[in-house]
Amino acid sequence: MPSVYCLADVCMVPIGTGSASISDFVALIEKKIRESTLKSTLHSAGTTIEGPWDDVMKLIGELHEYAHENGIIRIQTDMRVGTRVDKQQFAQDKIDVVLKKLNEMK
């Protein structure tokens, strides 16, 4: 089983809820993510979840099950997953590098 550290950018969307708003769904899922032991960052179009590959994928599966248990019939999830083995890098590290370079452009 893969244990490489990964950053997974996850966007889960409930289908067929009868409303254009999904903030209640996002809050439900975000609460479950925050109850996990994995580091995460909520942003305007999803959540970045960080940790060992198997743990991150297990949590994503659990999020689907949790949503279904809470009455959501269909869920569409988009993910981008990144790994690297040359150094350890967290999501905030990636943001900090770009902010530093932006600052240097002034």
Q: Where are the domains of the chain?
A: 5-104
Token pair recorded at residue 20: 């254009």
Cβ neighbours of residue 88 closer than 8 Å, sequence gap 6 or more: 5
> Which whole number is the average pLDDT over 77-87?
96
> Which whole number is the average pLDDT over 18-23?
92
Please say whether the structural domain 5-104 has been given the CATH code 3.30.70.930.
yes
**Is the pTM above the cut of 0.85?**
yes
Q: Please write down the long-range contacts of 22-27, taking CB distance under 8 Å and 24 or more positions apart.
A: 25/67, 25/72
Q: Could you tell me the strand order of the sheet in which 39-43 lies?
A: 39-43, 46-52, 5-15, 74-83
CA–CA distance, 102 with 106 (Å, rounded to integer): 7
Lowest average pLDDT, out of 14-23, 34-43, 44-53, 57-66, goes to 14-23
The pLDDT value recorded for residue 33 is: 98
Q: Are 61 and 12 in contact (CB under 8 A)?
A: no
> Which whole number is the average pLDDT over 67-82?
97
The pLDDT value recorded for residue 1 is: 72
